[in-house]
Amino acid sequence: MLNKIDQQWLKSFHCVYENNSFKRAAEFLCLPTSNVSRHIALLEQQLDVRLFVRSTRRIAPTEAGEHLYQRTQPLLDKLNQAIEEVTQHSQEVQGQLNILMPDSAELAQAVIAFCNQYPSISLCCDTSISPKEDLIDGFDVIVSFHRGKLEDNSWIAKEIQRWPSVVVASPKLLQTCSKPFQITDLKHVPCISSFTALDGTPWVFIDDHGEWVTQRVKSSFKVNSGQLAKAGALAGLGFAILPAELCCEEVEAGELEIVELEYQPADLVLYAFYASRKHIAKKVPAFIKHLQQRAKTKQ
């Protein structure tokens, strides 16, 4: 039976299984999607069994497909490891890189520099500062801002950069409303929600033991932009949590004042996420490492 099965069919089968996608498997294998589909069809025909259940949006392994993967995966792993040890230094960063990221000037420059460094990369980039779960399918890398604990999901998170943050307000606002001293006071003063405003996420602080503390705030000014949040704070529309780096000039000029509370605001962190699957094209870790290195040079 083994001599009737092409090794490429099995390789395509494993890649489709681990990516849950014919398209992503084809990108990793640098093959047309039609070729990968044909490999699976030929393997199913030779084995006389259905390996995947296909629908318009999702695919899932059948019981036979699950069994075939579990029994052959250790063998192919050893073969792949041996091949990778020989060829890892000659692999090229290539293929289409699908990115979802915030519309940021610094990130845009990082992406351009990456494409210049690796001319074999073709880029497809969409922008969103707070991507929704149902929008991320089909992307190789998701770059997004977060405060506090990350939600549990199947994506692997790599930290790119973090910014210590402060609560600020304009002198004008501090003259017209009570100055908060506890984070619970924020429920009674106007606040500006930013970055995760569309999810209704509360402000996040760090207590004396390093634990996350969340606080719902009173907010009638909700934006998904740090620049808009700063502009609102400067206009006296509310208290805001901002990266200290973003508002240091305004604080020095007396246009904003730092408000000290019993807990410090959680850092704003930029993460790069990628799917937790075994076969990851070299373009993905190369791009993430590129972002991390550029972030270090900016510090």
Domain spanning 2-85: CATH 3.90.1150.10: no
**pTM of the model as a whole:** 0.69
Hey, what CATH topology would domain 165-266 get? D-Maltodextrin-Binding Protein; domain 2 (3.40.190)
8-state DSSP, 56: S
Contacts of 15 (CB under 8 A, 6+ apart): 25, 28, 29, 36, 279
Q: What pLDDT was estimated at residue 173?
A: 95
For 12, 78, 82, 249, the CA distances from 230, given in Å and listed in that order, are: 50, 54, 54, 12
Mean pLDDT across 136-140: 72
Q: What is the three-state SS of 126-187?
A: EECCCCCHHHCCCCCEEEEEEECCCCCCCEEEEEEEEECEEEEECHHHHHHCCCCCCHHHHH
Mean pLDDT across 276-297: 86
Average pLDDT, the chain: 86
pLDDT band at 167; cut points 50, 70, 90:
very high
Asked whether the domain spanning 165-266 has the same topology as the one spanning 95-158+269-297, the reply is yes
Q: What pLDDT was estimated at residue 281?
A: 78
Enter the tokens of residue 100: 């979802």
Residues forming a β-bridge with 99:
125, 141
Mean pLDDT across 188-216: 82
pLDDT band at 90; cut points 50, 70, 90:
very low
Q: Where are the domains of the chain?
A: 2-85, 95-158+269-297, 165-266
Domain spanning 95-158+269-297: CATH 1.10.580.10: no
Question: pLDDT per residue over 59-80, tens digit each?
Answer: 889 999 999 999 988 887 777 6
Percent of the chain with pLDDT over 90: 46
pLDDT band at 170; cut points 50, 70, 90:
very high
Mean pLDDT across 181-197: 85
Is the model more confident about 186 or about 55?
186
